[in-house]
Structure 1
Amino acid sequence: MAFKIFLSPPQICGQEQRYVSDVFKSNYIAPLGAFVNRFEEDIKAYTRSPNALALNAGTAALHLALRVSGIRKGDIVLASSFTFIGSIDAILYQGAIPVFIDSDLDSWNLDPKLLLSAINALPKKPKALILTHLYGQCAKVYEIMEICKEHGILLIEDAAESLGAFYDGRHSGSFGEFSALSFNGNKIITCGGGGMLLGKDKEKMEKARFYSTQARENLPYYEHLDYGYNYRLSNVCAAIGVGQLEQIEQKVAKRREIFKWYKESLSQIEHKLEFMPEIPNSRGNRWLSTLRFLDYKINPLALVNYLAKEGIESRPLWKPMHLQPLFRDSKSFVNGVSQKLFESGICLPSGGALEKNDIDLISSLILDFIKSC
């Protein structure tokens, strides 16, 4: 059946249409253009990052970060296990070996203690860590940074879900050497599709820019001394992104309000559930409102199906990478947390157009479902 309430649909309500019209009037639709440059500058200003590169996907950003950092076939790259596969695909593109690190219950993000144990246990020194800030909530990035610094491991932040999230007053993705943002259709801001690479080293970022445009030499004809990719963002998509980014603080405020409404509406059963925590000294963007049930009798997948019959889209939490058939032979350091979250958790509708009565309806259906368990 068709959904009446989606999980996280795009919300176009600013200057996006006018900016896209400007692009069409200029007839400079692709590959690049003024709005691509403007989008990069606006992202730099908001995140306080020194360099930004607009790309067609967050995965492309992670891939370029690994390549310009010299990650090669056979190198070990550590990664959050509790994440979307796009975080890991980039490792495979370079022929590197992913090693997965489980989460802790304090943050649902990568466990720093387990990270240290993994580094000490591995026979070969890892070259990099891709750290995911899950569902828009910041990981314990200071602890993780210190461990990476001590062991000479490159820190790359997967901030694809966490635009608008801050830790200690600094934007997520501003701690590591590189970070990736995503503007997919379901993200807190969208270009319809797209991503951004942020980085501290200007020379490496320029190399990433070079690779992102097919590694074409600066000549009047096409000459290639190396191979690259068709990874750049179009001017049309960037125009949408510029309009979306102008509203980022309002969008974060609304998502956080939606989360607050869920907590209030489900307060009578708070002993049976736990919402994703927000670690001290941080402000998550609450891109998705997520929770796990503490009562093992409540089946989240059955709840997803129950809500779907009422025209409401939801989904289970991510299935950890170390449980994916693709990675059955990969090494992982686990404590059972992400598996427990996957088996007991759910992502609730969180789109910015939702109102209090929508949340009350969804919550009432959840309550009805739980009573039937």
Structure 2
Amino acid sequence: MINERIYLSPPYQSGHELEAFRQVLDSNWLAPVGPGLERFEAEICKATGFKYAVATSSGTAAIHLGMKVLGVESGDAVLASTMTFVGGVSPIRYCGAMPVYIDSDYTTWNINVDQVEQYLDLQPTNVKAILPTHLYGMPADVKRIETLGKQYQVPILHDLAECLAGKVDGKTLGALVERGVYSFNGNKLITTSGGGAFVTNHKEEAEQALYLATQAKSPVLEYHHEAIGYNYRMSNVLAALGVAQISTLADRVARKQRIFDTYQQALAPLGFGFQEGQVGAESDRWLTCVLFNPDLMIDISVIVSQMNEWNIEVRPLWKPMHRQPVFENEKVIGGAVSSALYRCGLCLPSGCGLTDEQQARVIHRLRAILGL
């Protein structure tokens, strides 16, 4: 139907979910922790290359755990991408620390590593962590970021919420970085309805994250607590959904790539810009996003409104954190590039279930808006 709504990135079922739930119900493992949770964590590690995973109630919870594991506390500074989702940086404030927002580079849209280095070179003493977001499935410059972390002895927590299956030089990111977080929200490449994971290559970090995520209960008979913990653990029921979804990860990435290729082939000749990666970087194409030519003086809010009138869900790129009222007093390095991307950028429908006919409709309407 021509009026059927086309969503940006709706959940996509593999076909194995119902059986996964049935097995959980038949086994009566409805308690928060169970074999499904352990299996999902093992599958996360297998898919991403990290050695340890602690599945959580959300990606934001995973970032908070990561901040706590790294010892971030009041008075510390954390360098973070300004172009990101608010849930990716709010945990910095949960810890009482101060975000320092770093601008994007115009090619990858990810954190500007030159600005990270310049800041560390001038004021390295109070920086407790670096939190780069890997936007829309595109890996950031992980090799250089990790090198800077070692050089200045500042740990990195990679926000991989949007980049589950990205690679660099053919390697999964777990083989290249120390730790990170994932999101399994309903709009992500795979979903557990809501959920996330803290991932690391250090056993002691995984153990600490697990301890904090389970109310910091000491491993003794009685309920004994020596620290403040959190109720951040993913449930065994939702983990079963994750196991069913992650089994089709390769197919999902291939679908996303075909969607990206189709958009690029149709829209690049018309002057639309696309996110590009560093040499060797492979995006998992979670979302395909485009940039309008700034000379056209396009009002993105008008485009969003018009497309929604045609029952097509599109959205602006992330509004930079330094432009959010809640963070208006925080320090920002640069900011012009991320603001320009936000002003000219648009996220297009990219769900794995997007049909050829639906994608053709999106492209047709974008052309119509520009009179092409």
TM-score class, shorter-chain normalisation, is over 0.9
Residue type at the aligned position of 1:332:
V
Pairs within 5 Å for 1:148-167 = 148-167=149-168
Q: Contact 2:291–2:344 (CA<8 Å) still a contact in 1? A: yes
| Structure 1 match to 2:292 | 293
| Structure 1 match to 2:69 | 68
For residues 92-146 of structure 1, give each alpha carbon's deviation from its aligned partner in whole angstroms, at most 9, with x where no partner exists: 1111110011011121101111111222333743111001100000111111221
| Structure 1 match to 2:368 | 368
Q: Contact 2:216–2:230 (CA<8 Å) still a contact in 1? A: yes
For residues 24-71 of structure 1, give each alpha carbon's deviation from its aligned partner in whole angstroms, at most 9, with x where no partner exists: 111111211111000011111111211111111111111111112211
| Structure 2 match to 1:311 | 311
Distance, in Å, in 2 between the alignment partners of 1:101 and 1:139 is 13
**Cα distance, 1:15 vs. partner?**
1.3
**Cα distance, 1:265 vs. partner?**
2.2
Residue type at the aligned position of 2:123:
L
Q: Contact 2:317–2:347 (CA<8 Å) still a contact in 1? A: yes
Q: Contact 1:3–1:308 (CA<8 Å) still a contact in 2? A: no
| Structure 1 match to 2:261 | 260
**Cα distance, 1:220 vs. partner?**
2.5
| Structure 1 match to 2:51 | 50
Mean Cα displacement is larger for which, 169-178 or 100-109? 169-178
Pairs within 5 Å for 1:1-373 = 4-122=5-123, 124-269=125-270, 271=271, 273-294=272-293, 295-371=295-371
Distance, in Å, in 1 between the alignment partners of 2:32 and 2:138 is 33
TM-score, reference length from structure 2: 0.96
Q: Contact 1:71–1:96 (CA<8 Å) still a contact in 2? A: yes
Distance, in Å, in 2 between the alignment partners of 1:161 and 1:362 is 22
CA RMSD of aligned residues (A): 1.5
Distance, in Å, in 2 between the alignment partners of 1:326 and 1:127 is 22
User: What SS does structure 1 have at the residue aligned with 2:255?
Assistant: helix
Mean Cα displacement is larger for which, 255-264 or 113-122? 113-122
* Runs of at least 4 residues off by over 4 Å: none
Residue type at the aligned position of 2:341:
L
Distance of aligned partners of 1:144 and 1:76 in 2 relative to their CA distance in 1, 3 Å threshold: same
Task: Give the gaps of 5 or more residues in structure 2.
Answer: none
Distance of aligned partners of 1:174 and 1:330 in 2 relative to their CA distance in 1, 3 Å threshold: farther
Report the identity percentage. 38
User: What SS does structure 1 have at the residue aligned with 2:297?
Assistant: coil
TM-score, reference length from structure 1: 0.96
Q: Contact 1:304–1:314 (CA<8 Å) still a contact in 2? A: yes
Residue type at the aligned position of 2:316:
P
Distance, in Å, in 2 between the alignment partners of 1:330 and 1:268 is 40
Mean Cα displacement is larger for which, 108-117 or 119-128? 119-128
User: What SS does structure 1 have at the residue aligned with 2:199?
Assistant: strand
User: What SS does structure 2 have at the residue aligned with 1:252?
Assistant: helix
Q: Contact 1:14–1:247 (CA<8 Å) still a contact in 2? A: no
For residues 194-228 of structure 1, give each alpha carbon's deviation from its aligned partner in whole angstroms, at most 9, with x where no partner exists: 00111122112101101111111222321212110
**Cα distance, 1:282 vs. partner?**
1.6
Distance, in Å, in 1 between the alignment partners of 2:25 and 2:353 is 28
Q: Contact 2:255–2:352 (CA<8 Å) still a contact in 1? A: yes
Q: Contact 2:70–2:129 (CA<8 Å) still a contact in 1? A: no
**Cα distance, 1:276 vs. partner?**
1.1
For residues 244-295 of structure 1, give each alpha carbon's deviation from its aligned partner in whole angstroms, at most 9, with x where no partner exists: 00000100100110011111222441x2x20111322121011000011113
Distance, in Å, in 2 between the alignment partners of 1:268 and 1:108 is 21
Give the length in aligned residue pairs: 369
Distance, in Å, in 2 between the alignment partners of 1:180 and 1:369 is 38
Residue type at the aligned position of 1:162:
C
